[in-house]
Amino acid sequence: TSGGDVIGAWGNMYSMIDQCNRIIPNIDRVPAANAFETGRKSIIRANLLALRATGHFELLRWYARPFTANDPLGVPVMTTSSLDGQPARNTVGETLAAIEADYAQAVTLFPAVTPATFSDTVLNQINVKGLQARVALYK
């Protein structure tokens, strides 16, 4: 379809994914003055990976058939910035593997969560593990 609701959602998600892809490879170019700033860069990278995974997952949910790994009609996995690109669709299995890899890396980059530091409105290890569980449920 070429309906605005379909095209708009597709474009909005890939725009978010592209923004994440513009920052992820360049985050190490930003100098860190101390350990606190180094830690913040790690948290920012974790957030970006989790957002990129979420964008790909939502696209897969909206535009792919049932989640059969060999189904060739997944969604394009974008891991580099390319507003002009029109990549071919990845299989559902390839798309899920990319989503799971981004979430797994994000979990390792977030600091440990304690009852005092947990927030349900900010991405952290626990929130991302919940998103991983959601992907597993759909699989």
Average pLDDT, the chain: 92
If we measure between CA atoms, which residue out of 26, 37, 48 comes closest to residue 105? 48
Quote the pLDDT of residue 54.
Answer: 98
**What are 50-108's pLDDT values in tens digits?**
999 999 999 999 988 778 888 888 999 999 998 677 888 999 999 999 999 999 999 99
Per residue in 34-49, is it b (16+ CB within 10 Å) or e — as a string? Answer: eeeeeeebbbebbbbb
pLDDT of 3 strictly over 80: no
